[in-house]
């Protein structure tokens, strides 16, 4: 689903701000002052916690009230954090090669990775990097496609066209139109890469991509191999899905527009970025006469408010034994798009103080898709709440994929049985045809996403390393999209275009591998939690709603935050130290059999 994948910007983009180059007074400890590693980490934690609050406040205001002034404030605070981070990492290097307690060593290692955009140790370059980053994100948030003066469409409006229209030319216009916002980003983004790479090299990495791949308790090379291993585990299911989707689109639009031996045109998949295909379910529905789960109808008939939709998600977490969200969550979150200003509508979850000031930011609509996004975002909030007692440098997931996986794991429990129990559908009675229908809907979301989730950062790794130079940014983008997803642009695209910039996570500089890993881990987590709940039966039918046993096991994992290697945290829940995609194959076993049957005699591949 389109919103499901939006990032938790405030949580992970720790780059933060202030009005000048001043840094917290306590960081002015001279490099040669006698300070034990333990004392240093305690000081770094205190300074980091203070900066977190200031950064979150500046970023929240910019995201919920986009103006030149809020961009300036956010950029200034980002610059301040960058100055602090550069200085504190230099101080941390005093302890390189020394024998340190494991917890102290881990805190120092995570400190060095405490920004997604390391700034050069030069005030002018640091300021330039912060200003570019803030402007790129703000330009994306304010982007509109204007056919003529007075005829402009925002991203949500264009997304609705991609989701709802079945007119080939109208889809093409919306797809091309959104990509008019990104060419101006190309040169600033190129400069951003130069500056961030310089900052990464000063921290001891060859480039920013190597720095990003170093945050997974294994070497960058081992991590690349791990993501490829996981992709190969699930690729057979994706290939079957792709083959069937292409055939059905050929029936819908004609094989002259959708050739059956070529990649799929990117604008026909119901999503602006072809990252999730659930909005073409009407074309793909296996058994139209089977009973359906029309949650949208219930939300509209009962006129659920955004707050009531959020309460529904909160009730699920409470059923597992977790506390209700603080009153301030309801007072300070943004649930709807204001009429009088530009905001970043991408759903995100925030912890403003590392403690109890939790919020979400969304422009909620009365749809089942949006409801699932809310369940996902509260997964972040409860994770943030669970690890609040850890030291600030451990305020994060075991690795980035864990944070994204928690809420998605919960959405797997939004089964027909659960939805009927809470009154969102009238009955849970379903036959096998309804099971296949539901699995098709889920696969169009979750399985279709997997190659997209993998390739976004592969493109950036190539950009950061120079393997994809600026003069081939767009070609490199489409080469990877064709290789992994089997899609192609519907019209020729050249280097005057900058199609990567039309995807939020590129201008916002949010690493994307987390989403790929989350789509693997959520099924692995679900299998383990269903076992803890004592469930026996097909995995796709399991809901952990109301299971205090599953909730206790999940909370125990969440409380650890980033305080230990992710392998230890994973083992606590699943009993294994290795990420494993076989749970996806188990979950989608009914659909896989259906797809193989449908694809018999077809020429698959591209």
Q: Which of 85, 242, 244, 376 is catalytic?
A: 376
- Supply the pTM of this predicted model: 0.86
How many beta carbons lie within 10 A of that of residue 75, not counting itself?
25
Query: Is 242 an annotated catalytic residue?
Result: no
580 torsion bin: left (phi>0), alpha (psi -120 to 50), beta (else): beta
Query: Is 15 an annotated catalytic residue?
Result: no
pLDDT value at residue 33: 59
What the block records as the tokens of 460 is 């950036």
Is 15's pLDDT higher than 90?
Answer: no
Instruction: Kindly provide the b/e burial profile for residues 467-502, where b requires at least 16 CB atoms within 10 angstroms of the residue's own CB.
Output: ebeeeebbebbbebbbebbbbbbbeebeeebbbbbb
Query: Is 244 an annotated catalytic residue?
Result: no
The full set of domain ranges for the chain reads 3-143+182-213, 150-180+216-291+432-511+576-606, 296-429+537-568
pLDDT value at residue 245: 98
User: What backbone torsions phi and psi does residue 287 show, to the nearest 5 degrees?
Assistant: -130, 90
Q: Which of 210, 404, 518, 594 is catalytic?
A: 404
CA-based nearest residue to 320, from 66, 29, 40, 530: 530
Query: Is 376 an annotated catalytic residue?
Result: yes
Place of tokens 């205190």: 46
What the block records as the tokens of 511 is 């690493």
CB 313 within 8 A of CB 322: no
pLDDT value at residue 504: 92
What the block records as the tokens of 410 is 């919960």
Query: Is 404 an annotated catalytic residue?
Result: yes
Q: Which residue has the higher pLDDT, 345 or 556?
A: 556
Q: What percent of the chain has pLDDT over 70?
A: 95
pLDDT digits (tens, 9 = 90+) for 139-178: 998 899 999 888 999 998 999 999 999 999 999 999 999 9
User: What backbone torsions phi and psi does residue 207 show, to the nearest 5 degrees?
Assistant: -165, 175
Q: Which of 63, 119, 133, 347 is catalytic?
A: 347
Q: Which of 244, 267, 346, 519 is catalytic?
A: 346
CA triple 134-150-338, angle to 5 deg = 50
pLDDT digits (tens, 9 = 90+) for 391-443: 999 999 999 899 999 999 999 999 999 999 999 998 877 789 999 999 999 99
Query: Is 58 an annotated catalytic residue?
Result: no
Q: Which of 377, 418, 458, 594 is catalytic?
A: 377
Is 4's pLDDT higher than 50?
Answer: no
> What mean pLDDT do residues 571-583 have?
95
Q: Which of 380, 399, 519, 540 is catalytic?
A: 380
Query: Is 380 an annotated catalytic residue?
Result: yes
In angstroms, the CA 209 to CA 296 distance is 41
Query: Is 47 an annotated catalytic residue?
Result: no
- What is the length of the chain? 606
164 torsion bin: left (phi>0), alpha (psi -120 to 50), beta (else): alpha
Q: Which of 515, 535, 545, 587 is catalytic?
A: 515
Q: What 3-state DSSP class applies to 359?
A: strand
Give the chain's mean pLDDT.
91
> What mean pLDDT do residues 522-531 have?
97
Q: Which of 505, 512, 545, 560 is catalytic?
A: 505
């Amino acid at each position: 689903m389109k919103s499901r994948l939006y990032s938790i910007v405030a949580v992970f983009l720790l780059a933060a701000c202030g009005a000048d180059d001043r840094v917290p007074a306590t960081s002015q400890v001279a490099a040669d002052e006698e300070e034990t590693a333990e004392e240093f980490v305690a000081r770094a934690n205190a300074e980091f916690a203070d900066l977190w609050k200031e950064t979150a406040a500046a970023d929240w205001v910019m995201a919920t009230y986009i103006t030149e002034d809020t961009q300036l404030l956010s950029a200034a605070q980002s610059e301040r954090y960058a100055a602090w981070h550069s200085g504190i990492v230099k101080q941390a290097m005093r302890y390189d090669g020394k024998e340190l307690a494991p917890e102290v060593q881990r805190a120092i290692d995570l400190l060095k990775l405490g920004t997604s955009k390391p700034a050069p140790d030069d005030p002018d370059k640091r300021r330039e990097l912060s200003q570019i980053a803030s402007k790129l994100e703000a330009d994306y948030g304010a982007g509109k496609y204007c056919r003529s003066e007075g005829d402009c469409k925002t991203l949500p409006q264009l997304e609705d066209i991609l989701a709802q229209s079945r007119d080939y030319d109208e889809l093409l216009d919306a797809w091309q139109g959104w990509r008019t916002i990104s060419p101006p980003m190309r040169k600033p983004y190129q400069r951003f890469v130069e500056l961030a790479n310089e900052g990464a090299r000063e921290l001891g990495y060859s480039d920013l991509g190597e720095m990003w791949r170093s945050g997974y308790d294994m070497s960058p090379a081992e991590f690349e191999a791990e993501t490829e291993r996981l992709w190969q585990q699930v690729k057979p299911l994706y290939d079957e899905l792709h083959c069937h989707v292409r055939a059905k689109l050929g029936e819908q639009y004609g094989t002259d527009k959708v050739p059956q031996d070529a990649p799929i045109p990117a604008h026909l998949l119901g999503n602006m970025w072809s990252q999730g295909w659930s909005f073409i379910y009407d074309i793909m529905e296996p058994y139209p006469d089977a009973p359906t789960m029309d949650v949208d109808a219930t939300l509209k008939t009962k006129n659920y408010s955004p707050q009531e939709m959020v309460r529904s998600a909160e009730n699920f977490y409470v059923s597992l034994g977790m506390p209700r969200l603080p009153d301030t969550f309801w007072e300070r979150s943004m649930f709807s798009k204001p009429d009088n200003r530009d905001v970043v509508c991408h759903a995100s979850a925030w912890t403003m103080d590392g403690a109890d000031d939790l919020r979400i930011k969304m422009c909620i609509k009365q749809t089942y898709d949006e409801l699932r996004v809310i369940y996902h975002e509260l997964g972040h909030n409860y994770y943030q709440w669970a690890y609040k007692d850890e030291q600030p440098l451990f305020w994060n997931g075991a690795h980035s994929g864990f944070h994204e996986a928690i809420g998605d794991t919960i959405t797997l429990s939004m089964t027909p049985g659960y939805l009927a129990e809470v009154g969102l559908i009238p009955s849970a009675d379903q036959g096998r045809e309804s099971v296949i229908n539901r699995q098709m809907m889920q696969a169009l979301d979750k399985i279709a996403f997997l190659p997209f989730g993998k390739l976004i950062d592969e493109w950036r790794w190539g950009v950061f390393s120079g393997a994809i130079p600026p003069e081939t940014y767009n070609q490199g983008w489409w080469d990877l999209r064709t290789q992994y997803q089997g899609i192609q642009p519907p019209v020729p695209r050249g280097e005057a275009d900058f199609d990567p910039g039309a995807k939020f996570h590129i201008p916002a500089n949010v690493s994307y591998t987390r989403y790929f890993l989350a789509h693997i881990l959520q099924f692995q987590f679900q299998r383990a939690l269903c076992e803890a709940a004592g469930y026996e039966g097909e995995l796709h039918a399991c809901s952990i709603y109301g299971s205090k046993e599953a909730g206790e096991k999940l909370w125990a994992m969440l409380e650890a935050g980033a305080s230990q290697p992710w392998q230890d945290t994973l083992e606590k829940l699943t009993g294994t130290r290795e990420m494993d995609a076989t749970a996806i194959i188990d979950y989608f076993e009914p659909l896989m059999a259906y797809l193989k049957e449908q694809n018999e005699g077809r020429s698959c591949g591209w």
